[in-house]
Structure 1
């Protein structure tokens, strides 16, 4: 029984909704524990080809970690809390399936970090994104200091950290922090993207995602070699045979 997360599957899409709207979907250990549970469910479910993560209430994706829950933490407890979130976010980033963040409202602190762990980010025009932890006397602890520079560059990331500025959606788009901005209802845009993804080879997408995730941490020459090895793996799959046969027969591929 989930108390803080809603999980549903429709049309090969796994929907994960952070459901604490009165707290602007703030993250505490209960939420993170349930998020871990549903991420595992979505990853293992063969009926799920794409995952969409969003927040309930229309005001926030996730407004950050729960300050009341953190206020009296010891350094040891803070470390364990950060590592718990980091482990879950890492699983999202390295999950074979594509994960889309649908941001409607605030994505701050741990919420920004959750969105950055996803593969694709769609934001509504009213959304604001940032890492304001320094206003609380702490730094991001859920990998924000690591993922943000990789997305927007080191100088912009340092400015966002030091000023604690909440970046509006249009600016987030221009600096590469989000992929798309829509006037409203980012879930609908995420579903549109998910539908396009579902038409393609999910096994090939998984290997391509792996090549990018692992290769970006490598020196270029090694990354290129790694790509060749994973490219070769695709030639052992049914999807490769179906995809190339369909192309030669001039028909749409029927991937499983």
Structure 2
């Protein structure tokens, strides 16, 4: 039984819309291992669902997701894991985003508040993103001494191009506003504050009103053509991440974040 994720099916035209709600009850929707496993299971639950055409993924009114839960004990234990155990544990995130990316149904993220790190990794694995005007996106991984992974870089590259992807990922402290995200092509629509879900749901209804089979086949064709080389270009992400975890800069980045101060990186 899921504690953080609920699924509603049979909504919209001919019952072809479903809604997945992610709410950890912590105010920020941080991605703990349990949350990642539940969200992965939610995506996989649609594998044999031939009734649903469109799925809306939404967080809370305050946050889509703050990303990786740096205070979670299971995740903090990565610092002491042997390499084999660590590589296995690092599959949690890529497995989550791949499960959502591989879904046959058309997927729409409804973003309120903030969408940070692993949150944006999840959002760009979906087909469309609807963002509230007062919401923001941030990619903090490099500022924490690690690389951005979970196949996020190639997916962002397809959406916004090389220069914008570098800007979003490298400038880790930079907030990307909804207007800028729309201008870049990172989100498809900007909604009024508090209306991201309603707008996303209306979009899902429009998708669900189309003939289901051509919709699903079109999505599959576009995804296969666009992401044909994604596995090749990102195959070293996990090992790069594991290597970065062992650096002094990673220790400093996390310590600075938790202590709410500027990090002092030394390139080692």
Place the TM-score, normalised by the shorter chain, in its bin: 0.7 to 0.9
Structure 1 length-normalised TM: 0.79
Larger displacement relative to structure 2 (196-205 or 139-148): 139-148
Partner of 2:252: none
Distance 1:68 1:198 in 2: 40
Partner of 1:237: none
Partner of 1:207: 217
- Tell me the number of residue pairs that the alignment of Structure 1 and Structure 2 aligns: 218
Partner of 1:183: 192
The correspondence for 1:166, drawn from 175, 181, 195, is: 175
Partner of 1:249: none
Whose helix fraction is larger, Structure 1's or Structure 2's? 1
Structure number with greater CO (CA < 8 Å, separation at least 6) is 2
Partner of 2:158: 150
Residue 36 in structure 1 maps to residue 40 in structure 2? yes
Distance 1:183 1:77 in 2: 45
Distance 2:84 2:122 in 1: 22
Structure 1 runs (4+) deviating above 4 angstroms are: 75-78
Partner of 1:127: 135
Q: How does 1:61-140 map to 2 (within 5 A)?
A: 61-69=64-72, 70-73=75-78, 74=81, 76-140=84-148
Structure 2 length-normalised TM: 0.76
Distance 1:217 1:42 in 2: 21
Quote the RMSD (CA, aligned, Å): 1.8
Q: CA contact under 8 A between 2:134 and 2:178: conserved in structure 1?
A: yes
Distance 1:144 1:217 in 2: 12
Q: What's the offset of the Cα at 1:77?
A: 4.8
Which deviations, in whole Å up to 9, do the C-alpha atoms of 1:86-138 show, x marking residues without a partner? 12312211211100000001111000010000001000011111211122111
Q: What's the offset of the Cα at 1:23?
A: 4.8
Q: Which runs of 5+ in 1 are unaligned?
A: 220-256
Q: CA contact under 8 A between 1:29 and 1:81: conserved in structure 2?
A: no
Q: What's the offset of the Cα at 1:41?
A: 1.9
Distance 2:38 2:184 in 1: 32
Larger displacement relative to structure 2 (201-210 or 33-42): 33-42
Distance 2:112 2:156 in 1: 19
